Amino acid sequence: MSAQPVFFLLAAAISIIIIFTSLSVKDLGVESLLVFSALKEGNLNKARASLSKIVGRDTAKLDEKEIIRATVETVAEGIVDGIISPLFYAFLGGASLAMAYKAINTLDSMVGYKNKQYINFGWAAAKIDDIANYIPARLSVIFLLLTSWLSGYSPVKAWNIIIRDGRKNPSPNSGLPEAAIAGALGIRLGGLNYYDSTAVQKPHIGEGINALDKSHIKEAIKIAYITSGLFIITGAVLFQLIQKGRFL
C-alpha cells in the first residue's frame, strides 16, 4: 500500500475524532438521564445536583416539576448548539470549522452577558454565537418535525407551537427547538428562573396540555437522538452528491 492512502485514512480518522469531540449527543443524553434516574428514585437533592452540571440557573430550591422543565429545556437547546450546529459546520468545512464553532459556543457559555465588568466582551460572544446558530436552528425545525412524526407525536402541533411561540425566547435560536419539543409533547416550557439569585422571567412556550412528568425527559432525549441521526444521514448523502457534482 502506498503512503498516500495511508495518510488519507489517518487524516480522515483524525478529522472524525475531532468532529466527534465537538458534539454533545452522548453527554446530553447521559447527564439528562442522571437527572431522570434521580427523580425516579425520588431523590430531589441528587436530581438538583445532577441538573446543576448542565444548566446555568440556580437549582438548589427547584421542585420536581421545575427540575423536569429545566432538563427538557436544556435538551431542546442542546439539539441545536450541541448537535445540529457542529455537524452543520463539519459538513461545510470539516473538523477545523466544527471546532471553530465549538470555540464560539464555549466562549458564549463562559462569558456571554454574564459579567457587568466585561459586558462588552460578553455581548460580543453572545452575538457571535447567535449568528453562528441562526441557520442551524432553522434547519433543526425541519428535522424536529420529522422526528416528531417518527416518534409518534403530531408534527402539526409541533409546527403550530413553533409558529406561535418560537420567537418568544430572548434568544433568536433556542426558542425554536424548545417550541418544537413543547408542541410535540404537549407541555409548557419557560417561566421563572433564578441566575445567581436574580429572578429572570422567561416567556412561556407551549400549551401545557400535558402536565410535566419525568418521562418527558426521556422523550426529549429520544427526540434529540433521532434528530441527530437524521441530520447526519441527510448531511452525509448531500455531501456525497455535492462531491459527485450532482447538485452543481
CA 162 to chain centre: 15
Coil, helix or strand at residue 198: strand
Band of the pLDDT at 114, cuts 50, 70, 90?
Answer: low
Q: How many CA atoms lie within 13 A of 211 on its CB side?
A: 3
- CA–CA separation, 166 and 243 (whole Å): 35
Q: 47 and 67 in contact (C-beta within 8 Å)?
A: yes
120-146 pLDDT tens trace: 656 677 788 889 999 999 999 999 999
Residue 230: closest CA among 103, 134, 141, 101? 141
Q: 191 and 62 in contact (C-beta within 8 Å)?
A: no
- CA–CA separation, 232 and 237 (whole Å): 9
Q: Can you list the alpha helix ranges (DSSP code H) found in 79-174?
A: 85-111, 119-150, 155-165
Amino acid at 204: H
Residue 199 has phi, psi (to 5 degrees) of -75, 135
Task: Say which residue, 17 or 165, is predicted with more confidence.
Answer: 165
Residue 68 has pLDDT above 80, yes or no: yes
Residue 94 has pLDDT above 90, yes or no: no
189-245 pLDDT tens trace: 999 999 888 898 999 999 999 999 999 999 999 999 999 899 989 988 887 787 777
Residue 143: closest CA among 217, 23, 233, 69? 233
Buried b (16+ CB within 10 A) or exposed e, 56-80: ebbbeebeeebbbbbbbbbbbbbbb
Residue 163 has pLDDT above 80, yes or no: yes
**pTM for the whole structure:** 0.87
Task: Say which residue, 158 or 20, is predicted with more confidence.
Answer: 158
Q: 64 and 35 in contact (C-beta within 8 Å)?
A: no
How many CB atoms are closer than 10 A to CB 212? 20
Across 73-77, 169-173, 237-241, least confident range: 237-241
Residue 2 has pLDDT above 90, yes or no: no
